[in-house]
Amino acid sequence: MNVRLPAEWEEQDGVLLAWPHAGSDWRDDLAVVEPVFVNIAREISRYERLLIVAPEISPVQQQLARGGVDMQRVDLRQMPTNDTWARDFGPITVIKDGHPVLLDFGFNGWGLKFAANFDNRITGNLARSGVFGRLDVRIPGLVLEGGSIESNGAGTLLTTSECLLDANRNPHLKRGEIEATLGRLFGSTHFLWLENGYLAGDDTDSHIDTLARLCPDDTLVYVRCDDPRDEHFAALSAMEKELRAFRTGAGRRYRLLPLPWPKARFDHSGQRLPATYANFLVINEAVLVPTYQDRGDAAALETIGQAFPQRKIIGIDCLPLILQHGSLHCVTMQIPKGVLA
């Protein structure tokens, strides 16, 4: 049976978002974060459809309409949510024998750090609501977050050992067993494991989408810290050496494109926040890139443009998003072509 995990840059039906609300950790920051979600939704609606979940949909509808979102491309579904990190609890789509199949992995709040009882049920709730038509939805019996894996659509899987081998996710599985399981589920035949790299303030145990991203034509875009005084310098330098040593499935070197290092940002309690330009979202004909009101913003847009020369590169101010330790890719999950009813 032929199965593969599509690359993010393949054609999409839409993107899943979970709206922030007063019952989530965004409670004290709704005024600054809701406009970011409106901006993301508006840009996505120019290119494809939006599937949005929220405990109350009327207020969301009003915000979207006021924000210039194409409401004909929006499907709002009412259901309880814990938070907004759709990347990690949303469905992961594989192509099996030429047809999309949805995988509903377990989500346990990044290794039992946060409540996830509502978010873990969102994919199932959406399937029962009919948004995926009659598509097959399968439960693999594995804890896995979408932000922890990167696919080139042709058998290569990029990930980090810190996340996938975390004791609070799948403690019964060793590395080889995880490779075998993901090989069966995704059709992955070439595994790239990063042993180094982290971001202070990150709750995900080093999700790959905060550090390094697979791009077309054997390209890797990654974060590089060029300040020897920064706490990240040693770990990210070691990560860069690993990336240089990686080879494609055909044995070739990757083309490496380093991203600029934004200045350190802190919350009101003095905790460093994980600002990263690697957390971009690829959609039909465009790439949405997080910016942070930083001098590195323009260079980040230019670098990602080198990786995706045929797409429009759109910056979105995501400074408010990192208040809850994530960014643009973390709050979105692409839905490949053929999935939405």
Query: Domain holding 40: CATH number?
Result: 3.75.10.10
Number of domains in the chain: 1
Q: What is the pLDDT of residues 29-68, one digit of tens each?
A: 999 999 999 999 999 999 999 999 999 999 999 999 999 9
Q: How many CB atoms lie within 10 A of CB 265?
A: 17
Span 304-325, average pLDDT: 98
Q: What is the model's pLDDT at position 1?
A: 57
Q: What is the model's pLDDT at position 75?
A: 98
Domain membership of residue 326 (yes or no) is yes
Domain membership of residue 329 (yes or no) is yes
Two structure tokens written together for 209: 């989408």
Span 71-84, average pLDDT: 98
Q: Round to whole Å and give the CA distance between 132 and 217.
A: 31
Domain membership of residue 341 (yes or no) is no
Residue 278 and residue 213 in contact, taking contact as beta carbons nearer than 8 Å: yes
Q: What is the model's pLDDT at position 214?
A: 98
Q: What is the pLDDT of residues 231-260, one digit of tens each?
A: 999 999 999 999 999 999 999 999 999 999
Q: What is the pTM of this model?
A: 0.97
Burial grade of 169 (CB within 10 A; 0-12, 13-18, 19 or more): buried
Across the chain, mean pLDDT equals: 97
Domain membership of residue 78 (yes or no) is yes
- Evaluate if residue 325 carries a pLDDT over 80: yes
Q: Round to whole Å and give the CA distance between 160 and 83.
A: 24
Of all residues in the chain, the percent with pLDDT exceeding 70 is 100
CB within 8 Å of 117: residues ≥ 6 apart: 82
The residue segments making up the domain with residue 29 are: 3-336
Residue 179 and residue 141 in contact, taking contact as beta carbons nearer than 8 Å: no
H or E segment and range at residue 37: helix 30-45
User: Which 3 state secondary structure label does DSSP give 269?
Assistant: coil
Q: What is the pLDDT of residues 154-203, one digit of tens each?
A: 999 999 999 999 999 999 999 999 999 999 999 999 999 999 999 999 99
Sign, CA torsion 121/202/207/287 = positive
